[in-house]
Amino acid sequence: MKRKKPLKKYNTRKRKKSYEKKFGVKAEWVREQECCVCFAPAPSHPHHVVSRNRGGDKESLIPLCFRHHTGSEGVHTLGPDRFQNSFQIGLSDMAILFEGEWCRREIAGAKNET
């Protein structure tokens, strides 16, 4: 089947710059954290608890290792509900915890600069 309209082309540099502006510093910090499910050492994959298409922002990032992000036991493989039931964790609760930790880190950094 042939498309009636061609797909929109997007500027990869502009898209990457936009991602870095929205998530850059926090995403890097999340990559440096251990997995919040199995505590595997960094680097981790930043997972958006609320998808970017649904308005997810940097407040909903949590660190997951490859296995728990996209691997056989991953949230993208099992789906969020089955994943949460399997590991008895709440992804939204984890996002709140990591956002709190991020804010504490930012406040501490601001105090050290002055």
Say if residues 62 and 87 touch (Cβ distance below 8 Å): no
Say if residues 56 and 50 touch (Cβ distance below 8 Å): yes
Segment 35-51 mean pLDDT: 90
Kindly report the pTM of this predicted structure.
0.73
Look at the alpha carbons of 20, 25, 26, 29 in this order and tell me if their dihedral is positive or negative. Answer: positive
Total count of domains within the chain: 1
pLDDT at 22: 67
Say if residues 85 and 50 touch (Cβ distance below 8 Å): no
Segment 21-46 mean pLDDT: 88
pLDDT at 113: 63
pLDDT at 114: 57
The pLDDT-based confidence of 35 (bands split at 50, 70, 90) is: very high
Q: How far apart are CA 28 and CA 13, in angstroms?
A: 18
Task: Classify residue 4: in a domain, yes or no.
Answer: no
Look at the alpha carbons of 35, 32, 93, 54 in this order and tell me if their dihedral is positive or negative. Answer: negative
pLDDT at 27: 85
Task: Classify residue 11: in a domain, yes or no.
Answer: no
- Note the pLDDT tens digit of each residue in 54-70: 777 777 899 999 999 99
Domain that holds residue 44: 22-113
